Each structure stands twice: as structure tokens, then as C-alpha cells.
Structure 1
Amino acid sequence: MDHRRCHRSRRRFLQTVAGGSVLLAGCTDLVQTDDGPGRDPVQVDSDSDTDSATNADDAFAGFWNPSEDATVVDFETAPLTAVVTGAVRTDDGLVATLDFDEPATASSPATLTGVIANQRDYEQTFDPARLVLLDNPPASRSSGDANDAAYLVPTEEHPFAETVPSSSRDDDGRWRVDTVHSDWYPETLTLDPEEQVECEYQLLGHHQRPSQPIVAGRYGFSYQDSGFTIAVWPTDTPGPDGNSQFSGTDVPALPESLDGEGTETTDLRWYHEATPETQVYLEPNQESATAPARIEFDLVNYSDEQLAGNPHQWRLSKLVAGEWYWIAPGGTPDPLSWVAPGTVTTSTLDLYDGRPIDRNRSRTVGHLGGGRYAYSVGYSTDGETHAALFDLDAPPLAVEPEPDAVIDDSDGTEADRVVRLPNYEDARRPATLTVTRVDSHSTADADASTDTDVDTDAHLIPEQLPRRRFRSFRNTLPFFDDGIDRVVLETDRGTALRWFGYEETTRTVSYKGTVFEVTGALESD
């Protein structure tokens, strides 16, 4: 263990409290919804976000960089690694923070330093239990078993402790508290204006010898909705057990951009390729689901480095005929956040084969057909992408035009069909999209074919068409199932030219085994 690293981190930790900053060793898991509630998905942007903290560790994310403070320690008494995440800050300006100082050794239990602070410019008297570290006693259950507990025990250096329990080592060399029967802290405490106090603790296991000592797990110390978590994991085997149903599966690289355009993610870290030695991985709670389905993904960071990235950045892609297609979201804002060592950040994906139902605190995607999908997130240590596969059981997606699209074959054009969207009449810059059948290719499964042997600008699949970016294709390509050879869509500039980057141009696309020429143009005055 590099003790110099511990001491350096602790100095930063104390300096940050002294400066009045809010501390938290965690990250914000921000919710993103692809489709709006009760509205057709093409009528809403797929990049709207709602800030939402998912647990107490997230309550003050964004104020600081956790890599500056979180100290990872390797115990010398057992093959375990540990770190503290979390913080407490009350509405009346009381703050409590906690960080490891030294690991457990043969001569001493693991020691931690807490800081209790009054950030107001007036004296405050309060119930110590509100700050968690001064509860009677600060205890946690790792598994819910009453005999599987961890305690934050005050030392002789603790200024508020009325009782300092003794400790001893068990036969396995693990440290335990000897008794917890007395109150450790007074009923009330008073802090002067802007006063802060250092408090020293030891991390000790349950006092009863038949119970578990400190083991791998997550020990939560909380009061109401805030508190600390001490994450403990096996030093040499922090990863999953390797029992993924996709073990041994080879899949192509994911696209880096919405358009694809030949760019691929070069450093992919798939969950199904993770081993027990893997320190960072994205673990789904299920790898097969039937729509409608909810899948939770845990981004586990059991390394000694922070993960940095965009909390809004997530991707859902579908694998069709050996090629990945970006499904959602259509775009993301670009903030920066972190996942500290020891943190497990959960994101939830709700999946529907039809119109989605908006779910609070989840990422919702509708209009999905059955098949193999990949979910990835935007956090990394060095530009890698963490992703996980899952199979979705759902009927093939049947794409239909919007209900309020009007077919108008009486305007004198040479098109087989003219489709008018409601936004056309009042458009400040009306525009058209003309789609013409060029060539058809016989395939065993036209719905699944991506025509990768055909030289076109893009291949499209049904799951893409209900998204806002592809609105013009949703309201043209389905008509070709009726033997139509040419469709003109009358709409506004945003709808007609969005896919072209708002330029008037002609491109070719393939869809369901057919090649089309597509031209987007503004209407002349």
C-alpha cells in the first residue's frame, strides 16, 4: 500500500472542507428519456434530460472532483480493498465528510478521518446522529444479517467521544470491536460559527466472534437520505464471475457517431468478456428480456482511479446482419462528471415494442423489434467504452407513418404518392423530401437485411425510423410496401433536411433490401 498516496489525498480532503466546498465521493446518474410521455416519439427531441440523484452518494455531485479526495486502501490483514463514498450536508449548513487514513495492519485497525463542520456564521446546537458519524453507534449491515456488521469506532483522538471502545484481533487476524453497549457520544453538540473539527475512527467488525468480520460488500452508514458507504471488494478478484450467457461471443465494434460513417469504438470493454480480475465493468441485471422490459445496468468501479465522462452519454444500438445501428438517444448535452473508486452507479433502461410509457428516473426507448442490442455508457479512465449485450424478445417492428400525415395525390406532381405533414402549411421554410426506388435485392429476410454489399450512403433499419432524426423516412419508406416507386414528403426544413445536416443534397439509402435515392430541397419562393 502506498501510504504517501493516502496522506496526500487526506490533505486535499481537509483543505477542501476548510474552503467550504461540498464533498462527495460519487457521481450523478442523470436520467434521459428518448420519447416523451403520451406523445409520438417523432414530435419530441430525444435529448431532453432531467437531473436526478439516484442515491445519497449522488446528492452533491458536480461540485468537486472525487479523484482529489477518495483514498483507496489495501488491507494488510486480508486480501481486501476499501474506499469511502458519500457525504452529509444538512439544510442548516452542517457538513460531515469521511476518508480513509491508513489500512488495517497487524498492529492497528483501518483508521479514518472524519471532519464535522458548521458552515454558518452563527453557533449551532444539534443532534449528533444527524451527521451519521456521531450516531450511537455508527453501524452498518452489509447483508442484512444482524451479526454481519461494521462499526465506525472513535479513537482516543476523537474530541466528541464519551466512550472509546476497545478492539482486538480474531483468530483470522481481523479487527473487531469488543463491545457496543455504551453510548459513545452526547445527546447534543454545539459548534461555533464556521467551526470544523477532525475526528478519528477505526473500522471494526462485529464484536461477536461467530459473526462475519469485515468482508467484501457495501457497508452503508446513513441518516434519512444521506450518509456514507464503505465499499469493500476482493483486491485480486474484483470482477464478475464470468458466467455471462454471451461468454465467447464475438461482436463487431460499436459506431462512435450517430451517422456511423465508418468510425468505430476501438477500445470496447464488454461485460461478457470481463473476468474476475476485471476492475471496471458494466453489469446488466439480466441479459435476456421480453418487451416491455426493464434492465438495470451497474457501472462498477473497483479500481483506484476515477472514471470521468458525460453522465448523459449513453447508447442503445442494435445488431443486424453483423452491423451495429445506433438507435438512441438522438443527441446529448456535454457536461462532465465522475465515478469515484468503489462507486456502483446504476442506470435503468425501459424498453417497449410499441409506444413507450415514460418512466421516471429511467432511460426509455420505444418502438423496438426483437433482436440483439448493446447498451453503453460514457464514463472511462482512458477513453475506453464500457458496454453490455442483451437479447430482446419482441415481434418484428412494423413502422407506420404518423397518424396525422395526409396523403395528397391531387397536386399534379409525377410522384406515385404525396405525403403532407401538419407542419407544412405553417412552415417558415417549407421543404420537400423526394424518395425514389432505385433497385431491389432479393434476400431471405428483407426485414433483417442491411444490404451491406450495396454501395449506398447509409443502411437503415426499422428501429431507427421512429426517432426524430429519421422522421422524414418514417413518413415515406413505409409506403413502398404497396408497390409505390416514388414518394414526395411535404414538410418543413428541419424535418426534410435534418438527416442531411440541413443541406440540400441527394443521397442513396437502403432499407429492407431496396435501394432508394433521396433528395432534400427547400421549396422555391
Structure 2
Amino acid sequence: MRRRALLASVPGVLAGLAGCSVGTLGSDESDEVTPVPRPDQSPSAATDSGTETPTATGDPPKPAEPTTVIELETGPRTYALSTPGFHTDDRARVALWFDQTATADHPATLRGWLQNGNEFENTFRIGGIPGIGQPYSRQPDGYDHEARLHLAPTDNNELAEEVPSLGRTDEGYWRVDDVGPWMPETHRLNPSEWVQLEYALVGEPGLSGRPTGTYEFRGGDRSLSVTVWDTQSPGPETESRFASRSLPAFPGDGSVQWFHDATKTTPAFVRPTTERAELDTQLGFEMVNNSHKRLQCGHWDLYKLVDSEWFHIAPTGHTADCRLLVPGGREQWGLRAFNGQAVGCGTGDCHCDGLTQGYLGGGEYAVVAGYGHATKESAALVELVGDSVPVTPTDDVSTARDGGTVTVTTGRYGDDERTADATFTLTRADSADERVIAEQVMASGRFATYDGGLRNALPFLSADVRHVVVETDEEAVDGVLGYDSNSRRFRFRGQAYQVSRGQTSD
């Protein structure tokens, strides 16, 4: 270790920030991530340019588009920083961005600042701020020994109490020679006062290579992470059981990146925990973004493949927000699939972030994420093994028959709890273009299209029945017909049907 050198002056320190502008945290709105520049000199060698620079109590400098992704020149690795800035609960404002990539002459460097965002003087607990006072990461999944990254402070870090010496491994990656502590536990700042930060992103003393994965820096209730992937092979590391499988065009523009079609150079894809499972089961999916772009808008859907045709199963609605997946980002989604009625998700024994879906029959399904790199979406094909799904009515129905007409009364009818009472009538038809499948008919829950609808009509249209009248409410009728339609034709298991609003007869 060597004691850190005191900075000669604030203007001298900031001279290396030519081209930076005052910005706000999270102001980057472009899809592309700005590549890190190759400076002619290291930040520690910067001199006063003679231009006016911000003071330590003014607005701190920040690039208009902070660099969060770099490709190393010391090995086939890409680093992606999870965010260029964040706030702490006690209103410390933190900004960090890549200033230079790793070369044979210097390690990858992050520059930034810590500012007091309060209108009063405050003492900040530096040791509780991820990456800033907690400069070592957790190990990525699959590693349990000497596989951490460190944010080692440089001479240009105004908070550092000590600056560690650095070296290179036999493979060429930069590492720290010894482990801290290097940073103070606390630091007091006046209102709006800020201090400059600068760190070298390096491996720990015993780390020879540079394992891929996500390195998380924790502190308090916040976290900062750096994701590392192979620059030359950002795609899946394992081969799919559906490799070379040809699938019919997907609904919409058909622009989908399938997991089984992904190669080692595919930068964004959905990775399933398994591609085949027996019902009832729980499956996990992860959207991986090993690209330099932010992907959007990120909603998930479930489809089933039947007779070379895709059928959307769930959900039937999404929130209006557009979600972003930053470079290096990962998003997990779970599917709890049941052959019969779904079992509610408790705590501790299952993951509730995703979809719980009952009445799924055996067959092939697609789990689709609304993120794509060269495509609009990304998806994984999975096979669920189980029995076909029978169509049965809900438990709350009662029936009455009058000749060739069966009247089905559901629990929604006359309950004065939901929308107004309404009815629809189901009859056979000669032909229909639209097709529905049992998984759609039996779907239930908040976003189910036919909840309390077709499943309460189809089972009662036997050979000697001509009409089935379902007494329910407007919400269920609109789910069957649509909000602005009075009739609809569809095919189900080879038979054509017509459903009409209200009670009808021949």
C-alpha cells in the first residue's frame, strides 16, 4: 500500500473531463451506449486546461451520455455497469461512469462523484454505499473462492485513505495486490458539496482469469453491479434440445429470436432453466442482454403451438409501462404450470414474479419476452408433458332445461357485486374461421378472456341441445364477444359455433 497523494487543486483534477457537461442522474435516453473514449493521457496525468471548471459546491460534471459499457483490450471480456448514478436514503447523490477501458498500460477506470443532496450539512456513512465505500463485489454464481472484483481507489479519489498498488496476471488482466480497507467509514459534506471519485476496476489478488457473470456490490438497501461476458461469445453456452427445429411464423411481424436458434454470437436471448417438464411444474426463464443496447418494452407472454398454429394463452392484458433492460441486464420470470386448477402461490415455496396458470395440457409452449436485439421479441420453446385439458364448468353454476334449450346460471348473475347482469347464447354453426383451444376456454383469473364464459356453455351443448343460454354479467359476456361485438363464430375441437349477445332462438 502507499498513502494517497493529495490533489493539487480541483481545476487540475477536472481538466481530464473535457467534453463533459452538467447533467442529471439517469438522463441518458438513447438506446445505444456511448463507447468509452481512448484518452491520450491517464486522468492522473491531466493538467489544468485553463478553462472554467465547476467548484466543489456547484453542479458536479457529468458526461451527457455516461459510458456504461466497455470492451477490454487485455482479454476477450466486456464490462457493463448497471447504472451511471443512484441516490441513497440519506440523499447522497452518486455518479459513476467508465472513463477508460483496460489496456496493457492501465486498468479499466471509473470516474464520478459523491454529492450531498440535502439543504443542510450531513455526515454520510461511506461504508454503507455500494461500490463507493464497499469496494468489493460478491462472487458471480457458480464461484465460491477468490472470484471477486474490486473498485480500487486511485490517486484522483478524494475520499480514499489509501491507494492500493495494482499488477497484471499472466493472462493480462489487472488485479489488486492487496485488499483494503481503503475508504473512510464516514464523510461530512456541506449542502450541495461534492467530492470526486475515481476507481480502477480490477480482480482480487488470487483471481487469475476473469470469470463471466454478474458481480454485485452491496451496501445498505442499494446495490451496484458489473456484468462480465465473453466479447467474442456473448450467446448461450449450452445447446438447446430443439436445435435446428423449424417453427411456424409467430403472430405479428414474426420477429422473434428463439433460444434454440441462438448461437454463441447472439447477444440477447431468453434462457430457460429446462426445456421439458412434467405437469404440474415450475419453470424459470431469464432474459439476457449481452449487448451494448438498452432493450424494451419487456412484457412476457405464454403461447401454445397446436397443429402448426400459435395460440395466445396468457395474460390478455399488460400494463402500459415500457420497461428497459440495460446492457448486461438480466430479468427473471417464472411459470407455475398446472394440468388442473392452479394452486395459489404462497411464500417461501415458490416465486410469485411471473405467471401462475392452470388447465394447461401437454404440448409445446413458447415463453416470449418483449425484449429483442435484432428482433422485436425473444422466446424459448418448452415442452410440457401432461394430459389434455377437459372443458368443465365453474363450480358455482346451476342449470335448467326447457326442450332444446339449457339455461346456465352462474354465480356472477344477480350477485350485485360485479358489473350488471347479462346473457349470451351458444349454438352450433356451419363454419367459422377463428379457432380456440381448451387452454384458452379454461383460463381463469384477473386477465382471462373467457373467465366464466365459454367454459360454462360448451359442456352443456350436447347432441340433443340446440341452445345454451348463459346468465352471467357484462364483464363475462364482453370477454366472450368483445366490447363492441354482438356475435362471434369460432371452431372448437372440430365443431363450429356461434355465440350471440342476449338470449336468442331459431
Name the structure 1 match of 2:174.
Answer: 175
Aligned mate of 1:462, from 429, 438, 441: 438
TM-score (norm 2): 0.80
1:295 aligns with 2:276: no
Q: 1:290 to 1:225 in 2, by over 3 A?
A: farther
**Alpha-carbon distance in 2 for matches of 1:519, 1:129:** 67
TM-score (norm 1): 0.77
Shift of 1:9: 13
Name the structure 2 match of 1:16.
Answer: 24
Gaps of 5+ in 1: 1-6, 27-66, 256-263, 440-454
Shift of 1:430: 4.2
Quick check: which one's helix share is greater? 1
Name the structure 2 match of 1:384.
Answer: 376
- State the Cα deviation string for residues 232-275 of structure 1 (Å, max 9, x = none): 111111000351111111111232xxxxxxxx332111111000
Name the structure 1 match of 2:398.
Answer: 406
- After superposition, residues 407-486 of structure 1 pair within 5 angstroms as 407-410=399-402, 415-425=404-414, 430-438=421-429, 456-467=432-443, 468-470=448-450, 471-480=452-461, 484-486=465-467
Shift of 1:517: 2.4
Name the structure 2 match of 1:204.
Answer: 202
Q: 1:190 to 1:353 in 2, by over 3 A?
A: same
Q: 1:190 to 1:10 in 2, by over 3 A?
A: farther
Shift of 1:369: 1.2
Residue identity opposite 2:261 in structure 1: E
1:513 aligns with 2:494: yes
Q: 1:415 to 1:504 in 2, by over 3 A?
A: farther
Asked whether the 8 Å contact 2:340–2:358 carries over to 1, the reply is yes
- SS at structure 2 position matched to 1:499: helix
Q: 1:429 to 1:133 in 2, by over 3 A?
A: closer
**Alpha-carbon distance in 1 for matches of 2:239, 2:292:** 25
- State the Cα deviation string for residues 97-148 of structure 1 (Å, max 9, x = none): 4322111011110001132222111111132111123436534423443322
Shift of 1:498: 3.1
Q: 1:383 to 1:134 in 2, by over 3 A?
A: closer
1:120 aligns with 2:118: yes
Name the structure 2 match of 1:217.
Answer: 213
Residue identity opposite 1:306 in structure 2: R
Q: 1:121 to 1:514 in 2, by over 3 A?
A: same
- Which one is further off, 241-250 or 340-349? 241-250
- After superposition, residues 261-410 of structure 1 pair within 5 angstroms as 264-309=252-297, 311=298, 313-359=299-345, 360-381=352-373, 384-410=376-402
Asked whether the 8 Å contact 2:335–2:357 carries over to 1, the reply is yes
- State the Cα deviation string for residues 61-85 of structure 1 (Å, max 9, x = none): xxxxxx9545211111101111111
Q: 1:165 to 1:238 in 2, by over 3 A?
A: same
Residue identity opposite 2:290 in structure 1: Y
What percent identity do the matched residue pairs reach?
A: 33
- Which one is further off, 88-97 or 279-288? 88-97
Shift of 1:466: 2.4
Asked whether the 8 Å contact 2:133–2:185 carries over to 1, the reply is no
The structure, 1 or 2, with the larger RCO (C-alpha pairs under 8 Å, 6+ apart) is 1
1:145 aligns with 2:144: yes
Q: 1:458 to 1:10 in 2, by over 3 A?
A: farther
Name the structure 1 match of 2:348.
Answer: none
**Alpha-carbon distance in 1 for matches of 2:327, 2:373:** 11
- SS at structure 2 position matched to 1:494: helix
**Alpha-carbon distance in 1 for matches of 2:177, 2:151:** 13
1:81 aligns with 2:78: yes
- SS at structure 2 position matched to 1:408: strand
Residue identity opposite 1:379 in structure 2: Y
Q: Number of aligned residue pairs: give it.
A: 442
